[in-house]
Structures are given as structure tokens and as C-alpha cells.
């Protein structure tokens, strides 16, 4: 754990947002070694205070000066803000772990899930990208299976909770549920259609090829993180009326046969994975099971009836943790453990 290292000066960019608050929670839970803590947020939060380890900190507006003396910035403030402010933080000597999509496909920026490609952090130049939440939980499962049988093709359908769209989306689902229960109308403000009691096969913008940006992110990010640029990946992304946790139906075709029994054994021993797979006892993961927890849960592992070398499975994880806050903190821990941050040394 990073607690064996010297405490660092840490800032959270977007500290008052949903992911920012989850970052604080994860840092506290994992006893991440922090010396100076600096919460940063937009001007509309300038009078707010943030609680960290039992102490209140005033929120500061981000600027180049605000990054002075900071070792690590955990950024969760959106792509446009990250594109503008991350280079300023690096200029001040900080290392930025960015949760937006601003730098993910930049060839000079490592896109990292530590359990999968932690070694990529050794080549960082100040900015590290955190992947899409759907991608993060997917590659944690794909990596050990690829090591065992070689990936040939991946087809994934995601069932993504509203928390992936932010606090306003979570509030919209709650208010819409209440309005419908009261026999009232609540017009969508965040989503393109009513989300309460509905599914929306539309996350992010549509591209000319008919796929959404979210679906292409899963494809491209999986290829980059796995180090398999030619891996065949196809995704359909769907928003569902669930507050927290993303679920995925995953079909994997391998270079050689892999039985469900072998896959269960491999995944049970894999980092960050937990297998819940006993259909006879109705044992399989659900979004409620995963919410607030760290593992990526896998169930319903079965033979793909359309391919002799294929398996189908069901994958569930808390998107605010493994897909955002927890992965970012794990990156920071890895960097401390491997002395990859300037000015940090073994205690």
C-alpha cells in the first residue's frame, strides 16, 4: 500500500462533483498518505468547503498558482477544463491523473488500469489518463483471460447507470421516478428521453458510422490498454434507470478453447475480480451488489453457442469506483510504490 511512502501534497480538481466526492471517500478508506490537501473547483463553488479526514478545507478556484507545490492532481472536471489546466499543473511540477477523455488516445499519455498495464506508468510525462468507466471494468476481466487463451474478438453491450452522466442525471432519475409515481409529468432535462422505467441506447454523440462516441471509446481504449491495436472490439452502450454501477454482457472469442470452469478459476485468482456464478442458486452479480464496493464482479460464465472458442459472461462494477475514483487512486498508489512521482521517496 502507498501508506509505506512519504505523504504527498495532493489536489482534487472538481472536488465538489460526484466523482470528486468519491475520490475523497476512496482516499480516506485506503488511508492514502496526504500531507497538504487542496480542493479545487469552479467559481460557483468558491465559498464551499470540503471535508477530508475530519477537517474542513475551503475550495479554491483552479489556476496555475493553485497547483504550486502540489505533487499529485486527481482531475475530474471534464475534458475542456482538463485540456486547459493539466498542462499548467505539470508546469508547476505536479503529476495529473485525469478522469476525462481529454488525453486518453494521446499516444504520449499512458491510459492505465494498474492491474492490467501498470508498467505503462513508467513512461509518463506528467499526465496519466483514467479510462472510460465501462472500459475499466471490462479490461480487468479481459487481461487474465487473454493471458490464458489469447483474445480474438470482444462484443460487449453495456447497461450504464445514470451516475455515469453526473449528479444532475442522478437527480433527474429520482425526480422523474417520483413524478411518475404521483401521476405527474417530468420532461427530460439531462437525457434525450425519459429514463425512468426506460432504456436509452444513446450515450454521448452519434458518429457518422452509426456508433456513439461512448461505444468507440470502449473499442479504442480497450485496444490501447491491452496493447492489442488490432483486437476486434464491438460495443453497444445503453443507459439504464439505475443510480450506480454499470453492467456488461460480454462475449469473448479466444485463439484457443477455454472452458467456463477454467475461466472461473482464472478470474477467481485475478486481481480486482470476484466471481459470483451459481445460477442454480440465483447467484450472479447485480448493480445493487456492486454499489459501494471495489471488486469487478463476474457471473453467468457460459459457452458461446455460436463459437467453439467463445465464452459469454456478465460483468458488474461500481462505475464511480473502479471506473473513476478507485482506479485513479490505485494509479497514484502504484506511482508512489514505484517512485514515479518527483520528490517522493521511500519512508
Domain total for the chain?
2
The residue-averaged pLDDT of 52-61 equals 96
Q: Whole-angstrom Cα distance, residue 116 to residue 96?
A: 20
Which of 112-116, 165-169, 223-227, 231-235 has the lowest average pLDDT? 165-169
Segments in the chain forming alpha helices (H): 18-29, 79-91, 114-117, 133-149, 167-181, 213-226, 260-268, 287-290, 326-337
Q: In Å, how far from its chain's centre is CA 281?
A: 30
Say if CB 74 and CB 50 are below 8 A apart.
no
Q: Whole-angstrom Cα distance, residue 122 to residue 229?
A: 20
Q: Across-strand partners of 212?
A: 206
140 and 193 both lie in a single domain: yes
Q: Whole-angstrom Cα distance, residue 106 to residue 85?
A: 16
C-alpha cell at 323: 471506473
63 and 162 both lie in a single domain: no
Q: Which residues of 221-251 are buried (b: 16+ CB within 10 A; e: fewer)?
A: bbbbbbebeebebebbbbbbbbebbbbbbbb
Grouping H, G, I as helix, E, B as strand and the rest as coil, residue 19 is helix
328 and 310 both lie in a single domain: no
Local confidence band at 5 (pLDDT 50, 70, 90 cut-offs): low
Local confidence band at 344 (pLDDT 50, 70, 90 cut-offs): very low
Does residue 345 surpass a pLDDT of 80?
Answer: no
Q: What is the pLDDT of residues 187-203, one digit of tens each?
A: 999 999 999 999 999 99
Q: DSSP class of residue 278?
A: B
Number of other residues whose CB lies within 10 A of the CB of residue 108: 10
Residue 2 has a pLDDT of 41
Q: Is residue 167 part of a domain?
A: yes
193 and 329 both lie in a single domain: no
Does residue 331 surpass a pLDDT of 60?
Answer: yes
Which of 3-7, 110-114, 307-311 has the lowest average pLDDT? 3-7
Q: Is residue 328 part of a domain?
A: yes
Q: Whole-angstrom Cα distance, residue 273 to residue 140?
A: 7
Say if CB 263 and CB 186 are below 8 A apart.
no
Does residue 146 surpass a pLDDT of 90?
Answer: yes
**Could you list the residue range(s) of the whole structural domain that residue 36 is in?**
2-131+324-337
Does residue 4 surpass a pLDDT of 70?
Answer: no
Residue 57 has a pLDDT of 97
What angle, rounded to 10 degrees, do the helices at 213-226 and 133-149 form? 40
User: Which CATH number covers residue 330?
Assistant: 3.40.50.720
75 and 191 both lie in a single domain: no
**Strand 8-13 relative to strand 34-40, pairing:** parallel
Q: Is residue 344 part of a domain?
A: no
Q: Whole-angstrom Cα distance, residue 20 to residue 24?
A: 6
Q: Which residues of 177-189 are buried (b: 16+ CB within 10 A; e: fewer)?
A: eeeeeeeeeeeee
Q: Is residue 292 part of a domain?
A: yes
What percentage of the chain carries pLDDT values higher than 90? Answer: 92
Torsion, CA 11, CA 16, CA 18, CA 20, rounded to 10: 10
Q: Whole-angstrom Cα distance, residue 118 to residue 56?
A: 33
Task: Indicate if the alpha-carbon torsion angle 19, 25, 28, 29 is positive or negative.
Answer: negative
Please state, rounded to an integer, the average pLDDT across all residues of the chain.
94
278 and 236 both lie in a single domain: yes
72 and 188 both lie in a single domain: no
Catalytic residues: 133, 246
Q: Whole-angstrom Cα distance, residue 318 to residue 296?
A: 8
Local confidence band at 90 (pLDDT 50, 70, 90 cut-offs): very high
Q: Is residue 74 part of a domain?
A: yes
108 and 190 both lie in a single domain: no
CA distances from 203 to 117, 233, 238, 253 (A): 27, 17, 7, 26
Q: Across-strand partners of 248?
A: 158, 315
Local confidence band at 3 (pLDDT 50, 70, 90 cut-offs): very low
Local confidence band at 269 (pLDDT 50, 70, 90 cut-offs): very high
Segments in 118-206 forming alpha helices (H): 133-149, 167-181
The burial class, CB within 10 Å (0-12 / 13-18 / 19+), for 202 is middle
Amino acid at each position: 500500500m502507498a501508506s509505506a511512502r512519504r505523504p504527498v501534497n495532493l489536489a482534487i480538481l472538481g472536488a465538489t462533483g460526484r466523482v470528486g466526492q468519491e475520490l475523497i471517500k476512496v482516499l480516506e478508506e485506503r488511508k492514502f498518505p496526504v500531507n497538504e490537501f487542496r480542493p479545487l473547483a469552479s467559481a460557483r463553488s468558491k465559498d464551499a468547503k470540503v471535508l477530508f479526514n475530519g477537517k474542513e478545507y475551503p475550495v479554491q478556484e483552479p489556476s496555475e498558482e493553485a497547483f504550486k507545490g502540489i505533487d499529485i492532481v486527481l482531475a475530474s472536471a471534464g475534458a475542456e477544463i482538463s485540456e486547459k489546466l493539466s498542462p499548467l499543473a505539470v508546469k508547476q511540477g505536479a503529476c495529473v491523473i485525469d478522469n476525462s477523455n481529454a488525453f486518453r488516445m494521446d499516444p504520449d499519455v499512458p491510459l492505465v488500469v494498474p492491474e492490467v498495464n501498470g508498467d505503462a506508468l513508467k513512461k509518463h510525462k506528467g499526465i496519466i489518463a483514467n479510462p472510460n468507466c465501462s472500459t475499466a471494468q471490462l479490461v480487468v476481466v479481459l487481461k487474465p483471460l487473454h493471458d490464458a487463451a489469447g483474445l480474438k474478438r470482444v462484443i460487449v453491450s453495456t447497461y450504464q447507470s445514470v451516475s455515469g452522466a453526473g449528479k444532475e442525471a442522478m437527480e433527474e432519475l429520482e425526480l422523474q421516478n417520483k413524478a411518475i409515481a404521483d401521476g405527474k409529468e417530468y420532461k427530460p432535462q439531462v437525457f434525450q428521453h425519459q429514463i425512468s422505467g426506460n432504456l436509452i441506447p444513446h450515450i454521448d454523440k452519434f458518429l457518422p458510422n452509426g456508433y456513439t462516441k461512448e461505444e468507440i471509446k470502449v473499442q479504442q481504449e480497450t485496444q490501447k490498454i491491452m496493447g492489442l491495436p488490432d483486437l476486434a472490439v464491438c460495443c453497444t452502450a445503453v443507459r439504464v434507470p439505475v443510480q450506480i454501477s454499470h453492467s456488461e454482457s460480454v462475449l469473448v472469442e479466444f485463439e484457443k478453447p477455454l472452458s467456463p470452469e477454467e475461466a472461473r478459476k482464472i478470474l477467481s485468482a485475478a486481481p480486482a475480480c470476484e466471481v459470483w456464478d451459481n445460477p442454480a442458486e440465483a447467484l450472479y452479480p447485480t448493480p445493487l451488489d456492486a454499489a459501494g464496493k471495489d471488486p469487478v464482479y463476474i457471473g453467468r460464465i457460459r459457452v458461446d453457442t455460436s463459437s467453439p472458442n467463445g465464452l459469454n459472461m456478465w460483468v458488474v462494477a461500481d462505475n464511480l469506483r473502479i471506473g473513476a475514483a478507485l482506479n485513479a487512486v490505485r494509479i497514484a498508489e502504484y506511482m508512489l510504490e514505484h517512485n514515479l512521482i518527483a520528490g517522493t521517496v521511500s519512508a
